[in-house]
Amino acid sequence: MSAPPAAPLFASLRGYRRRWLRADVVAGLTVWAVLVPESLAYASIAGVSPVVGLYAAPPALVLYAAFGSSRHLVVGPMSATAAMSAAAVADLTTGGPGEVLAFTAVLALVTGVLALAAGVLRLGFVANFISEPVLKGFVIGLALTIIVGQVPKLLGVEKESGNFFEQCWHLIGELGDTHGRSLAIGAVSFFVVIAVREWLPLVPGSLVAVVVGVVAVTLFGLDEHGVEIVGEIDSGLPALGWPDGSSLRDGLRATGAAAGIMLVAFVEGLGAAKAYAAREHDVIDPNRELIGLGAANLATGLGSGMVVNGSLSKTAVNGSAGARTQLSGLVAAGLTIVTLLFLTGLFEQLPEPTLAAIVIAAVIELVDVGALRGLYRLYTQDLGRIYGRAARPDFAAAIAALVGVLLFEALPGLALGVVVSLLLLLRRASAPHIAVLGRVPGTSDQFGDVDRHPDNRPVPGVVVLRVEAGLFFANTDSVRSAIKEAASRPDTRAVILDAGAVPSIDVTAVRMLSETAGDLERDGRRLVIAHDLGQVGDLLAIEADGDVPVHRTVTEAIDAVDGSSA
């Protein structure tokens, strides 16, 4: 298998225009303002020291900018993969702090190696099996999960583990314990972000909210009145190299967990990248996304970090702040390094409710209910008559992914959406629409669906059928039944199968046609094929060996039937 065509490093910076600089720098500042506290929080989710999240961010941002295909995607620690990392490390270690830290980095390394290998082998096509509706449901589910995970910080109450619904139920029970000052600073921060975005779009609302939050804590001593703040952060850069206290054997042990994490990381990042690429009419290359993801995780693993992936929330912040290229990510990486060296004290005073408000404001626009309504409206009575419950496959697949993420979290939710999507595809393919055709009034050689256009006139003694799908092993019984049912009608002497709408056929279907033609012949009837296009005609000629007469058009087939009858 050939390697993917070489892409230039830092492709998004090619042809850079000076007028983009301000937007990218402002977006980088805004991403940095969200990235630092989020990275601290997600490291805690992963069960390691908060500073590990900061260690992970700069190499991830730089390496993705070098190899990735999105101009907007921000790569860093994320909640879903952080939680998966914590679960995997808990299963693979005894729980000692040093061992947990080392295995967390090893997991990032192995995830990076697997993603790089998948990209080089051009396995990005796997993303083609995850439809746009499934991705939409997945993104909405993740956005809702992120929001419900931030609400406890906003209210100043304890967060409950579990799925989306369990967390919601816990929140309802905790409403009476809402901390007034936490809610106040969170509400003000949320209003600041939304108001600045609406009325001063050139100003980074998230950064303004961070400044307001830090100033409020400093001036009013909110941390002394029960408002949670980020707290102490170690300063300095991490050690580089293979994680201390671990071995290659540890990497092999982590391979299974890393494969699952890689899939979730890839799909979540791809969903975010495609969402923002669509707005700018960009094209996302799944293979380059895998390579970018792999390089980012490899780098962060060698830098004492943790698993990283494309972030819905931070990409939303980046896009909202006006980013034009990956320079915004490079600016955020540089500022994060400066933070590690000199500014950790600044973020120690950041209120957790402010952080929660920034994240919620960023991802709330990804809860695209209108898109779900649009998928639901893709329905007609004819589709309902033909496919029954499978008439809204895209809507069903999106809802399956959405509910799956809310109930079972990221990886199982994605798998559920894909499975439902494939099952519905197989359901429709196994029972294709088979139209009965009649001659269009005023023409001699045009035929159309009689059910859709009752004016079309059936041909006396001949039933013309059109299969509106490929013919393959899964639908041969359905097509055979339709042919025999048509042949059993009174006065029917022949069935013509119009194959003009059949894009493909397999050997099972060819043999079915040959057998069915023999069955009809014994009953004094005929089966004739019209419009044997491409591979349909090729396989019929090879396998059927003349058992089924073939004609260029439906009119020729009718004339042949009439001639043989005479």
DSSP letter, residue 462? E
209 with 30: CB under 8 angstroms? no
List, for the chain, all residue ranges whose pLDDT scores fall below the cut of 50: 1-4, 566
**Residue 566: predicted pLDDT:** 45
* Interacting residues of 242 by C-beta distance below 8 A, sequence separation 6+: 109, 302
**This prediction's pTM:** 0.76
Taking the C-alpha atoms of residue 288 and residue 294, their distance in angstroms, rounded to an integer, is 10
Collapsing DSSP to helix, strand or coil, 457 comes out as strand
Angstrom distance (rounded) from CA 242 to CA 301: 8
- The dihedral through the CA atoms of 441, 447, 453, 456 has a sign that is positive
DSSP H or E run through 75: strand 75-76
Q: In what order do the strands lie in the sheet with 494-498?
A: 447-449, 434-439, 462-467, 494-498, 526-530, 550-551
Would you state the pLDDT for residue 382?
65
10: left (phi over 0), alpha (psi -120 to 50) or beta: left
Residue 288's pLDDT is what? 94
What confidence score (pLDDT) does residue 104 get?
93
pLDDT digits (tens, 9 = 90+) for 192-203: 989 988 888 767
Count of CB atoms situated within 10 Å of the CB of 174? 17
Burial of 40 (0-12, 13-18, 19+ CB in 10 A): buried
Class (C level, CATH) for 434-565: alpha beta
pLDDT at 545: 62
Residue in the block written with tokens 């890839």: 266
Domain with CATH 3.30.750.24 in the chain: 434-565
The burial of 76, by beta-carbon neighbours within 10 Å (0-12 exposed, 13-18 middle, 19 or more buried), is given as buried
438-473 burial code (b ≥16 CB/10 A, e <16): bbeeeeeeebbbbeeeeebeebeebbbbbbebbbbe
Give the model's pLDDT for residue 353.
Answer: 92
